[in-house]
Amino acid sequence: MTKAFDMEMFLGGVLTGSHATRQRHLRQAKIIHAAIAERWQRETPWGWKRKHLAWFLKHRLKQRSEETRYYYLLTARLITWRLEMPWVFDL
């Protein structure tokens, strides 16, 4: 049996701000992780490519408000920062 990936530990070093902001980023990162794991069977962010996050931001959030997409973009930037990748995303 494998242990589930701990998104809180993964993002722990880059999370800043108020408690509510940190909790929002963790909640959204877990949603992003679940969607990518379901679609591409990528169990950890270390196996993600730019296309995975771009797909989530473009297709999974298509019906969401502009504000919601913006907050997910901020979370995607945190993930990118943690992975130390130079990826840039558009809304």
Count up the domains in the chain and report the number.
1
* pLDDT at residue 1 tops 50: no
Q: Using one digit for the tens of pLDDT, what is the confidence trace for 54-81?
A: 999 999 999 999 999 999 999 999 999 9
Residue 4 belongs to a domain: no
Q: How high is the mean pLDDT of the chain?
A: 94
Residue 45 lies in a domain: yes
| Range(s) of the domain holding residue 39 | 12-83
Is residue 35 assigned to a domain? yes
Residue 78 lies in a domain: yes
In this prediction, residues 12-23 reach a mean pLDDT of 95
Q: Has residue 7 been placed in a domain?
A: no
**pLDDT band for position 2 (cuts 50, 70, 90):** low
Say if 88 falls within a structural domain.
no
pTM reported for the whole predicted model: 0.94
**Cα–Cα dist 91/89, whole Å:** 7
Report if residue 3 sits inside a domain.
Answer: no
Q: Is 77:89 a contact under the CB 8 Å cutoff?
A: yes
4 pLDDT tier (thresholds 50, 70, 90)? confident
Judged against a pLDDT cut of 80, whether residue 31 lies above it is answered with yes
Q: Is residue 41 a part of any domain in this protein?
A: yes
